[in-house]
C-alpha cells in the first residue's frame, strides 16, 4: 500500500496506539494511587498491631506475674 490510503492507515494506527498509551498511563496512575493508599493503610495497621501487642503483653504481666517473683509458700 502506498499513497493516501497507506498514510491514512498509518495515521489510524498511530492514533490507536496513542489512545492505548493514554489509557495505560491513566491506569498506571490509578494503580499507583491505590498502591500508595494501601502502603499508608499498612503502616497504620502495623502501628495499631504493635500497640495492641504491647497492651496484651502488659495485661499478661499484670494478670499472670512471673512465678519466680512470687514469695515462697508459707510451708518453707
pTM: 0.63
Tell me the pLDDT of the chain (76 aa) as tens digits: 678 999 999 999 999 999 999 999 999 999 999 999 999 999 999 999 999 999 999 988 887 777 777 777 787 5
Residue 76's pLDDT is what?
Answer: 58
Q: Could you state, in order of their start, the residue ranges of all structural domains in the chain?
A: 4-61
Residue 13's pLDDT is what?
Answer: 98
The position carrying cell 494503580 is 31
| 34 close to 27: Cβ distance less than 8 angstroms | no
Residue 35's pLDDT is what?
Answer: 99
Residue 70's pLDDT is what?
Answer: 76
| 17 close to 25: Cβ distance less than 8 angstroms | no
Amino acid at each position: 500500500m502506498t499513497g493516501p490510503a497507506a498514510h491514512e492507515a498509518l495515521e489510524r494506527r498511530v492514533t490507536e496506539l496513542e489512545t492505548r498509551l493514554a489509557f495505560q498511563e491513566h491506569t498506571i496512575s490509578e494503580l499507583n494511587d491505590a498502591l500508595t493508599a494501601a502502603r499508608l493503610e499498612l503502616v497504620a495497621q502495623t502501628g495499631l498491631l504493635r500497640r495492641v501487642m504491647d497492651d496484651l503483653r502488659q495485661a499478661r504481666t499484670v494478670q499472670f506475674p512471673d512465678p519466680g517473683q512470687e514469695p515462697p509458700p508459707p510451708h518453707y
